[in-house]
């Protein structure tokens, strides 16, 4: 242990920070064992899907040009459909990010005159321009698709009466954001999502229920598609890519919904038949294979962060003892100086660009400057250790990722060291 303490000291961790954080980490061992059991269950699920679909070395070869008859691409999509227990899936490098995947699912399954309803409050910032809440070129609003919203109750529960009143003959699709985004509401459990979907379909059975599954994959043993969601949508540079996928997104769900999305992604008449996978399929397969264990590492990091900062008197969401439904941990830091210091500490722990000081900037799609710490092997990958937050009240930081538990642990220790060094926190 003395050697370990010395190694941390060489990275700038003082004795006080080391002793405080180590005592917290040791207290979490039993909880971490439960996370390992979930990872084991999900690992078996992924392997079973790969066996069922006869994944072979030939699946890694890729394709060029039009991408016709791409064995690896077609097999991978069947694997995803089986993992998520859906009729079909669209898993493509041409889907550039999570927002693109969500926009694709929305724009391909809504038509002029339809209405989109969010029963869980305001969607993630980057979706505001997709929907047209903030005017933008090519938004749903420009195509005559309206939007309605029901906020969550004060305690974070669903406003069932409000949702019932908002559903009408125009309501074609419901979008359910599982994770909190830049908000302080609770993340939704798979069980609660299932109850909400059942309630909505009891009012109007033909409503398409889409779940923004970003940051939630493999956190539980079931996915929203197993409790009634018609589509689940996410990014491959988050949980399901396992830190290896260099790009991409997925939509898994009912065949009709996936066909619509494929026609929008490529072209009517071409749909899923085209789309070259080039030479990246092995990273997609191997990333999915690793995803359950990588996600468990990120979960452990989030729980460690919650316990550290709650003990120091900060508000944390989820709190130190809550059950987890995604990998994101928010800490209400209460000042721009504290937010920037936290992110500086996370950046110092990064294997890539660890020497860089993050600065707030006007990111596309956001309504205020955002600071991001993300020294990642894949640019923007938030399954890798990262932290970010908008420079506005309540100055909350959103911490996520960590491909390995030791790296996530170091990141949290470095964030605390940064706050201590700047006199913001005293131990």
Using the predicted structure, report yes or no on whether residue 218 has a pLDDT greater than 60: yes
Q: Predicted confidence band at 219 (pLDDT cuts at 50, 70, 90)? A: very high
Per-residue pLDDT reduced to its tens digit, 376-402: 999 989 999 999 999 999 999 999 999
**Local confidence band at 186 (pLDDT 50, 70, 90 cut-offs):** confident
Angle at 409 (CA atoms; ends 407, 414), nearest 5 degrees: 95
The secondary structure element, H or E, covering residue 101 is: helix 98-109
At 303, list the tokens.
């729980």
Would you state the pLDDT for residue 2? Answer: 80
pLDDT average, residue stretch 7-22: 96
Ordered by start, the domain boundaries in the chain are 2-42+289-421, 66-278
Q: What is the pLDDT of residue 1?
A: 57
- CATH number of this structure's domain 2-42+289-421: 3.90.1150.60
Confidence of residue 362 (pLDDT cuts 50, 70, 90): confident
User: In this structure, what token pair is assigned to residue 29?
Assistant: 């061992």
Give the percent of the chain with pLDDT over 90: 94
State the pLDDT confidence band at 411, using cuts at 50, 70 and 90: very high
Residue bearing the bigger pLDDT, 1 or 264: 264
**Whether pLDDT at 209 is above 70:** yes
CA angle 369, 117, 247 (to 5 degrees): 50
- Over pLDDT 70: what percentage of the chain? 99
Q: What is the pLDDT of residues 70-92, one digit of tens each?
A: 999 999 999 999 999 999 999 99
Please name which of 67, 56, 122, 59 lies closest in space to residue 265, comparing C-alpha atoms: 67
pLDDT confidence band for 365 (50 / 70 / 90): low
Residue 116 is predicted with a pLDDT of 98
Contact call for residues 373 and 346 (beta carbons, < 8 A): yes
pLDDT (average), residues 57-71: 96
Rounded-to-integer distance, Cα 387 and Cα 411, Å = 10
Q: Is 162 exposed, middle or buried (0-12, 13-18, 19+ CB in 10 A)?
A: middle
Retrieve residue 136's tokens: 């933008």
Backbone angles phi, psi at 148, to 5 degrees: -130, 160
Q: Smallest Cα–Cα separation from 190: which of 164, 156, 150, 218?
A: 218
Sheet order of strands, 396-400 included: 315-317, 329-332, 396-400, 386-390, 370-373
CA–CA separation, 89 and 79 (whole Å): 9
How many angstroms separate the CA atoms of 62 and 72, rounded?
A: 6
Token pair 């919650």 is found at 306
How confident is the model over 4-10, as a mean pLDDT? 95
Give the position of tokens 């860089």: 356
What's the whole-number mean pLDDT along residues 411-415? 98
Q: Write down the H helix ranges in 150-227.
A: 160-166, 190-203
CATH fold, domain 66-278, is 3.40.640
Ordered DSSP codes for 290-346: HHHHHHHHHHHHHHHHHHHHHHTT-EEES-TTSPPSSS-EEEE--SHHHHHHHHHHH
């Amino acid at each position: 242990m003395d050697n370990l303490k010395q190694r941390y000291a060489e990275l700038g961790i003082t004795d006080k920070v080391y002793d405080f954080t180590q005592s917290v980490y040791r207290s979490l061992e039993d909880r971490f064992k439960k996370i390992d059991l979930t990872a084991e269950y999900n690992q078996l699920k992924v392997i079973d899907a790969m066996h069922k679909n006869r994944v072979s070395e030939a699946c890694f070869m890729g394709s060029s040009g039009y991408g016709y008859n791409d064995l690896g691409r077609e097999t991978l999509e069947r694997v995803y459909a089986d993992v998520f227990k859906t009729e079909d899936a669209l898993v493509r490098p041409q889907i550039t990010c999570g927002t693109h995947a969500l926009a694709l699912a929305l724009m391909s399954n809504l038509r002029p005159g339809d209405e989109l309803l969010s029963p869980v409050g305001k969607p993630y910032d980057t979706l505001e321009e997709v929907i047209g809440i903030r005017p933008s070129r090519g938004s749903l609003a420009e195509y005559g698709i309206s939007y309605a919203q029901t906020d969550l109750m004060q305690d974070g529960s669903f406003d069932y009466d409000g949702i019932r009143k908002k559903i009408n003959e125009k309501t074609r699709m419901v979008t359910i954001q599982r994770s909190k985004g830049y908000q302080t509401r609770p993340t939704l459990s798979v069980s609660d999502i299932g109850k909400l979907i059942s309630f909505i379909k009891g009012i109007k059975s033909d409503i398409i229920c889409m779940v923004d599954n970003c940051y939630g994959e493999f956190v539980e043993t079931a996915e929203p598609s197993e409790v009634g969601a018609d589509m689940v949508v996410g990014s491959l540079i988050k949980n399901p890519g396992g830190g290896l996928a260099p790009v991409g997104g997925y939509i898994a769900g009912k065949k009709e919904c996936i066909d619509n999305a494929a026609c929008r992604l490529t072209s009517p008449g071409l749909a899923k038949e085209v789309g070259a996978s080039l030479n990246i399929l092995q990273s997609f397969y191997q990333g999915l294979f690793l995803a359950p264990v990588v996600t468990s590492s990120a979960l452990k990091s989030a729980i460690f962060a919650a316990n550290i900062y709650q003990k120091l008197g900060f508000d944390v969401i989820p709190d130190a003892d809550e059950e987890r439904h995604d990998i994101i941990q928010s800490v209400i830091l209460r000042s721009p100086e504290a937010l920037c210091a936290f992110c500086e500490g996370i950046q110092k722990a990064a294997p890539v660009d660890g020497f860089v000081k993050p600065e707030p900037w006007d990111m596309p799609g956001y309504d205020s400057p955002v600071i991001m710490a993300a020294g990642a092997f894949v640019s923007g990958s938030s399954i890798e250790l990262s932290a970010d937050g908008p420079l506005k009240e309540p100055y909350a930081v959103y911490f996520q990722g960590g491909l390995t538990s030791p790296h996530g642990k170091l990141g949290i220790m470095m964030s605390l060291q940064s706050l201590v060094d700047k006199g913001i926190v005293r131990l």
